[in-house]
Structure formats: structure tokens, C-alpha cells
Structure 1
Amino acid sequence: MDAGCILRRLASMILSSFLVGLVACAPPRSSLITIGAKNFTEQVVLGEMLSQEIEAVTGEQVDRRFYLAGSYLCQQALVSGRIDGYVEYTGTALTAILKQPLPPVGQRDEATVFREVSSLYASKYRVKVGPGLGFEDTFAMVVRGDDAKRLGVKTISDAVRTTPDPNGWRLGVGYEFQSRPDGLRGLEATYGLKFAGDPRTMDLGLLYRALSSNQVDMVAGNSTDGPIRALGFVVLEDDKHYFPPYEAVPLIRQDSLQRHPGIRVAMDRLAGEVSADEVRGMNYAVDSEHRDVAEVVREFRKSKGL
């Protein structure tokens, strides 16, 4: 055996020993609670809220893996065990993750959707759907306040009959809304909406900036977004009830609940404690007042006696 071969074998043995040492020193999964969140403000607020409550109950530090790029990545992280849980919305879970068709309009009530989502997560992924936090964050078609007043537009159906431009509304959407089954195509079919050209697709954080600067006339936002109230925008009523319920609920792996019973206690303590106005206020504090998420959440929890 030549000297080069001996050196290569020696290097390989050293590297192997080093990797084994790293694995041996890594904490076991059961010693670490990891909470995820998607990549927009409200999700980070809710992820921080769940994390702080778990820490308060268990006395353990929670690892935060926030700003995961959307529902699909959060689902993959949850199923693979890279995170123990995150907060999802029932309508998003039903259509985008569980791939179920939209229920008939008369069956889109909150309780029916919650039962179906809970059953499917348990049977397919061994994931527990926790009790709702107390609010819904539905998709919302948002326009400028002066346009709504000038055109007399209050509902999505009103927006079909009148537009700020003869060619139609200039629409801005996030990446998920354009492709989701409960998104743009179904909305267009349900209402017969016509838009001026293709929608402008952008990061969620840029939607209201584009609307404010007249780059678009309507955006597909979320009903609890802070800038809606701050900038005087108007949410058009979904008068045909196209969108299903989007109740905010924690999703937690069942094996994580067995290892860390305190997570269930934390979920129960948060159940029904967060109103739409309260989460809208927290979103505004982070987005517009540039306050620290952890501080905003601590103040909210203190106000609730948590």
C-alpha cells in the first residue's frame, strides 16, 4: 500500500470518528420542543405565542424555526419530525394540505370543517389538531378606501359590476393564492370576476405597499392584516361565501404530545383566548410600529393572565 493510500484511509477514519462524535453529542429529539411558523408576521406572532406558552408550562426552552416558506414546507417539516408543531388555518389545511374539495356552501361551517380536518390529520399523519385560538384569518379581497367609497363597492359582487378602470381591476396576489384550490381560479368562477391582465404575484409583505402606491387596485390579503386598518383599506364582503372557515388551530405531532404532555396544557390555555381584533393589533405593532415580536406577545399574554 503506497503512502497516498495510507493517508487517505487515515483521513477517512478521522472524519468518521468526528461525525460519530457529533451524532453522540447531539441532543435526542425528545429533549427538544421545536415550533415552526410560516413566513409572514401573523404566523411568527402565533408561533411565538405557542412557544412562550409551552415554555411557561414546561420550563423548557423551545427551539423556534420561523419563516418557513409557506404551508407546504411547514407540513413537510411537521410530518418529517423537524418541527413538533405549528399553527395552521382550517380552510388552508383542508384544501391546500389535505387536498380535499371545497365543501358545498351550506356545509362550510366552522364545526364541520374542524371535524373533517381533525379526523384526516389523525388518520393520515398522526397529528393532533388542537382547539382553536379564538379567531379566523380568512382570505380577504382588499381595496383602497377611497375607491370603495367612490364606486360604492362593499361586496365582491359589487366589484364585478363596477371597476376603477374600464379594463377591470388590477389584482395583486401572493404566490399561494394564485395556485390554491380555494384561491384565485375558484374565486373568478364563483363571482365571474374579470381582471385587467394577469395578476401581479408578489411576497405577502409587498401586497399593501403595491395597493397604497396604486400599482394595483385590489389585493388578496388576509382579514387580520394590520395595514388594512392602519391605511384605511376596505375588505370586500364575501357575499357568496366562497371562502371556507380559516380557524387558527395548533397542529402538534401525537408522538410529541406523548413525550411532552405540557404542550397539550399550553394549547388548552390558549384556546379561545385570541380575538381577530387582538391578533390584528399585534400584527400592526410588529409591522407598522416595528416592535419586537417576543415583547408584543409577552404583553398580550400578561393581559390575559397567562
Structure 2
Amino acid sequence: MRGIYRGAAFGLITALSLTACGSGDSSDSNPLTGSSKDSGGGKSLVVGSANFPENQLLAEIYAEALEAKGLKVTRKFDIGAREVYYDQIVKGGIQVFPEYNGALLATAVDKTSTATGTEEINAELKKKLPSSVEILDSAEAQDKDSVTVTAETAEKYHLKTLADLKSVAGKWTIGAGSEFKTRTQGWVGLKKIYGVEFGKFQPLDAGAQSTLLKLLESDKVQAANIYTTDPAIVADKLVVLEDPKSLFSSQNVTPLVYKSAVNDTAKSALNAVSAKLTTADLQDMMKKLVNDKEDADTIAKEWLTKAGIVS
């Protein structure tokens, strides 16, 4: 599902692409706070994240919840898209990761799966994940992919659902992560399920969210793959097109862990996060992170304290 933004200019695209490609071997620095955070020497749990702010924030929440239980944590954030980090989890290089259950199933575990609901998706994951890893409890919180347009575009072309794009998409450009073009929950599914095929595809990188929004609002791309918890949707009055055929499945925030490294104390800490985290919480934290420019570790600690997970 994730890693969706890359800048429009060729130079920016190239620079960001090189950064993303090399990020799998990055240090344990926290890209959201600019600090290196390791809870101490000795054996520690490696908590990873993908290369977009929300996932990094969720990883920080996981890390602080684990540390509150006295566990040692090493942060390895900003790794890249699922195509980069998934094998690292399966092999144990990363041991705790905030995943999105529907995208995990459809893009890494079973690309032929037609499961759309939370319970159905999790049942398939439990059967089909490699034996070295498992999912823990899913949160109520979801952040789904979407195809989003400006209010002006929606009004002009009478767009309400993804199916309404069929008559106009051939002349349009959609902005999304490079992986969106090959995923069923993306370009492939739009054509297969809705008969929608865009004329052009503009790849974007996870670090260029503001660039994506500028491209959309300046009509350089006419549609964009934006996550539904993005505060710009409300702030800029964007229109998320309805998905009546469930192209985009449930995307509950769900811990994916390397079994042999995660003990009962760690599982309890991560499940406690899932038990409390709501979509409204995620939207509120993303507003603080993106719009208000607050530090991720501060936001994480504030939410964990409010949720009664840490004191």
C-alpha cells in the first residue's frame, strides 16, 4: 500500500529514488526527529518503518510502548516500500513493523486474494504468512489508499465514484507511488474492476507529499493516490472518490512481528496499542505531524499517555 510520493521534476525524482533505494541499509536514526535513538546496549528489538511519515509515527508509538515495558529497542525507520522491507522482516532483520493488513495480504502474501473485510483478511494472513512471522491484534484505526481529486474537478466532471472516471481518465494523469502501477490495489485493479485506465502515470516518492498536492491542485495531475488519513483531504477540501466495488480493502494498522524475537511482554505492549488506536486518533496525530510540525516522538508519547499505555 505504502510509499506514494515522488517529486515531479526529473532531478527531484532521481535524487529521491536514489535515497529510497539506499534506505534499506540506513542507520537507526529517526528521520522524523533527526535523532539517533537506541534504548541501550545488548540484545534489542528492531522496530522498522516504511518511508512515509504516518508509518514512521506508528513505528515510534510501537517503540515507545515497548520501551515502557522495559524492553530495549533499536529504531530502523524510513526503509522504503513493502517491496523493500518485507523480506527483511521475514528473515528477522526487522522484528516489529506497523503494517496495514489488507495491503500486506494483497501485495506481499497473496496477490490473488479477494478478501476485503478485516476479519477475512486477518484469517488469510494467519494461514498464508511465512512461518517465521505473524500478525498480532489489528487496531480499529485504518488508513486506506484512495483515488482523490480536487473539488473543482469532481464538480466539473460529475465525479462521485471510481467508476465515474471511466469516461475521462484516458486523457488524465494520476500521481502515485511507482509500485501503484503494478499493484492490484492500484492501476491494475482500476482497469480490471472499474474499466478505468489513465492516460499517463506520474510516479512520486514518499518524501514529496507537498509536491503531490501542488501537482494535483495545479492540475498537472488530475487524480492522486492519497491516504485517507492525510490532513490535506479536509484542509484542502479534496474529494475521495467512493469505492463501491472494494478495490481498496480494509487497511487496519496491524503489528507484523518476527516470532522468535518477540516475547509475551512485547506482544502485550503492541496489542495494547492496537486496542486503543482509532482512525480518529490517527487523523488527529497526522494533523499535528504534518500541519503543526510537531515531533513524532512527542506526539507518540502524548497519545500513549492519553491512552493509558504509559505514565
The TM-score with structure 1 as length reference comes to 0.81
2:120 equivalent to 1:112: yes
CA distance in 2 between counterparts of 1:275 and 1:134 reads: 5
Superposed CA deviations along residues 12-57 of structure 1, whole A, max 9, x for unmatched, are xxxxxxxxxxxxxxx66xx111100000011011101111111112
- Whether contact under 8 Å (1:87, 1:249) holds in the other structure is yes
- Which residue identity does 2:62 align to in structure 1? L
Q: Which amino acid aligns with 1:184?
A: W
Per-residue Cα deviation, 1:121-175 (whole angstroms, up to 9, x for no partner): 2xx2321201012122221011112222343322112232457xxx633211111
Matches within 5 A, 1:104-253: 107-121=115-129, 124-161=130-167, 168-195=171-198, 197-204=199-206, 205=209, 206-253=211-258
Give the distance between the partners of 2:127 and 2:218, measured in 1 at CA.
44
Residues in 2 aligned to 1:215 and 1:162: alpha-carbon distance in whole angstroms: 15
Work out the CA distance in 2 between the residues paired with 1:126 and 1:80: 8
Percent of aligned positions that are identical: 24
Counterpart in the other structure of 2:270? 267
Write out per-residue CA displacement over residues 225-250 of structure 1, whole angstroms, 9 at most, x where no aligned residue: 22212221111010222222222100
Larger Rg over CA atoms: 1
Q: Residue in 2 aligned with 1:55?
A: 67
2:155 partner letter: K
2:59·2:98 contact (CA, 8 Å) conserved in 1?
yes
Partner of 2:32: none
Q: Is the 8 A contact 1:135 1:247 kept in 2?
A: yes
1:72-101 Cα offsets, whole Å, 9 max, x none, are 222122122221110111122112111330
| Match of residue 287 from structure 2 | 284
1:34 pairs, out of 46, 50, 55, with 46
Check the 8 A contact 1:157/1:191 in 2, yes or no.
yes
Distance across 2 between alignment mates of 1:125 and 1:225: 34
- For this pair of structures, how many residues does the alignment match? 267
Match of 2:86 among 71, 75, 95: 75
Contact 1:102 1:244 in 2 (8 A): no
Distance 2:253 2:121 in 1: 12
Q: Which has the higher helix share?
A: 1
Identify which range, 285-294 or 145-154, moves more after superposition: 145-154
**Distance (Å, rounded) in 1 between the aligned partners of 2:290 and 2:116:** 31
2:296 matched residue in structure 1? 293
TM-score by length of 2: 0.80
Alignment equivalent of 1:88, drawn from 94, 99, 102:
99
When residues 102 and 60 of structure 1 are mapped into structure 2, their CA distance, relative to the original with a 3 A threshold, is: closer
CA contact 1:34–1:84 (8 Å) conserved in 2: yes
User: What SS does the corresponding residue of 1:67 show, helix, strand or coil?
Assistant: coil
**Structure-2 change in CA distance of 1:115 and 1:280 (3 Å):** same
Amino acid of the residue matched to residue 114 of structure 1? N
Q: Unaligned regions of 5+ residues in structure 2, if any?
A: 1-40
